[in-house]
Homo-oligomer: A and B are copies of this chain.
Amino acid sequence: MDTRVEIIVYDGFDELDAVGPYEVFEMAEENGADLDTSLVTLLETDRITAAHGLRLEPEGTLSRDDPADIVVVPGGGWNDRRPVGARAEAERGAIPEALRDLHAAGTTVAGVCTGGMLLARAGLTEGRPSVTHRGALDELHASGANVVDARVVDDGDVVTAGGITSGLDLALHLVERVAGEAVAEDVAAQMEYDRRGDVIEAED
């Protein structure tokens, strides 16, 4: 059965935080991985405007009754405290609440960049090894997380990455988990991307 991946987008999300992993998962699928990836929103909408102005049309809404296996959460606008973006979503609370529910139901949650702060707001990184964009590490620490200096931190059902382009390594790591190293290496080669090796897998 396909591993379902949902990447949740919202107004003010950082373009690459989401599109990087999206392309990695889609290419893994083209390379034989049993994945089904979509860009979704919390509530139905025709259009999302990202942090730098990219306007995209989402493919559907976040599955709640039949949760995805993996939900990827991009960041955006956190460090410069933009009125629209990850910080605003953390304050609003609806996305963190949905993430908490999905995690409780067994979904692996994956934060890219300051998407990790939305996991923190959901209480999902408390006491757990995790990372976020460099500019938000102090806040992640203050939230009670066990901050780890790595590009990707895999703590099983909570996976986090550093800033922006770290999302490529997070997605390649998840592809490796789901479909094996060969597929991840093929995707990285096709993207002409040199994977960064510092993936920390937390011990159980």
Contact = CB atoms under 8 A, between A and B. Distances in A.
A66 B14 CA distance: 30
Contacts of A67: none
Contact of A163 (B162, B165, B191): B191
Nearest to A14: B23
A56 B54 CA distance: 7
Nearest to A25: B52
Nearest to A59: B53
A194 B59 CA distance: 32
Interface size class of A (residues with CB under 8 A): 20 to 34
A26 interface: yes
Number of copies of this protein chain within its complex: 2
Given A22-B15, A27-B52, A163 B134 contact: no
B196 A194 contact: yes
Nearest to A49: B57
A19 interface: yes
Nearest to A196: B194
A47 interface: yes
Given A15-B23, A19-B19, A55 B57 contact: yes
Contacts of A23: 14-16, 52, 164
Nearest to A55: B57
Contacts of A164: 23, 190-193
A123 interface: no
Contacts of A135: 190
B39 A54 contact: yes
Given A23-B52, A55-B59, 5 more contacts: A15-B19, A23-B164, A55-B56, A135-B190, A166-B192
14 contacts: A14-B23, A19-B19, A22-B52, A23-B52, A23-B164, A26-B52, A27-B52, A135-B190, A151-B192, A163-B192, A164-B190, A164-B193, A165-B191, A194-B194
